[in-house]
Structure 1
Amino acid sequence: MPNIHLTTFIAAPIERVFDLSRNLTIYKVLMQGRKEKFSSGAASNLMNHGETITFHAKHFGKTRLVTTRVTDLKKPLSFVQEQVKGDLLHFKHEHHFKAVENGTILIDMIDFEGPRDVIGKVMGRLYLKHYLEKYLSKRNILIQQYAETEKWRAVLS
């Protein structure tokens, strides 16, 4: 099963980084100009335990839907999103946060498995892993840009 591990330092307090990581406005900004969108079952602009988010992305001529649910949340230390519906056999994204003297270390761990067929397994290992790594890296840079400047006030107030 492919997995991804990304560690990012952000010069901001843990609570701010935690809330920006589950902030739906960040997702909207990240998806601007892409052939992707999402719909949310969240009651507020912050994803909470039990809430869902559905990602819509067009890959290989087909619209793919993946719905994840926040299955665990320990504020401000971690939260977990797991696929409850979608094309993948398995998808689990763990978000961990560690306060350090001058900021926060954000640790993302993703385990996933592509569709059952041979093409799905190959695509999962080659395409999907690269796609998720790139997406995650862009997401963390965006969180960093908001957290380390005054931009965070516009989305967390």
Structure 2
Amino acid sequence: MPTIALQTIIKADKKIVFDLSRSIDLHKISTAHTKEEAIAGKTSGLIELEEQVTWRAKHLGVFQTLTSKITAYQSPDYFVDEMVRGVFKRFRHEHHFSTVGSDTLLTDYFDYTAPFGILGVCMDIIFLQKYMTTLLIKRNQYIKTFAESDQWKAILNPYQKPK
């Protein structure tokens, strides 16, 4: 049961970073290289507590479907999404936001169990943990880029204006 822990400093307001992190639209942009699409549940806008989204994406050469649900939520401090259905045996992704001076510290904890028993453990050691870490780092870089420029307005303004 590996846990990936990442910290990203973002020179932007915590509420903006929080909202970008739960934006279905920004997630689609950040995962375009996997052809990721939101195909059911919440398919655009800002995901909220108890809402689900089903994603279809090509990972490791295979199209996969995964449904996750927001199971904990305290704006603008944290939210948690957990897999409801998908290829993993399970996963829980915690997103924490704290103010550091005038910046925001985004801390991710991605705790998961690979599928396929002992074969999954081997896959995790060989490539899965690195693959997932790279995916999360790339996603956080998109959040940082949008938050630190005016690009966040194109994502958030159609839904709500950060205070």
TM-score by length of structure 2 reads 0.88
Q: Secondary structure in 2 aligned to 1:33?
A: helix
Q: Counterparts of 1:1-157 in structure 2 under 5 Å?
A: 1-42=1-42, 45-59=45-59, 62-157=62-157
Question: Are 2:25 and 2:44, in contact at CA under 8 Å, matched by a contact in 1?
Answer: no
C-alpha change, 1:31 and 1:102, in structure 2 (3 Å) is: same
Letter in 1 for 2:41: G
4 and 12 in structure 1: CA distance in 2 versus 1, 3 angstrom threshold: same
- More displaced 10-residue stretch of structure 1: 89-98 or 59-68: 59-68
Stretches of structure 2 lacking an aligned partner (at least 5 in a row) = 158-163
Q: Distance in 2 between matches of 1:82 and 1:56?
A: 16
What is the CA–CA distance in structure 1 between the aligned matches of 2:44 and 2:29, rounded to whole Å?
17
The worse-fitting range, judged by mean Cα deviation, of 85-94 and 37-46 is 37-46
RMSD: 1.7
Q: How many residues align?
A: 157
Secondary structure in 1 matching 2:84 = strand
TM-score by length of 1: 0.91
* Aligned-residue identity in percent: 38
Kept in 1: contact 2:34–2:58 (CA 8 A): no
Q: Which amino acid aligns with 2:4?
A: I
1:96-139, CA deviations, whole angstroms, 9 ceiling, x for partnerless residues? 00012121000000100111333222113332211111111111
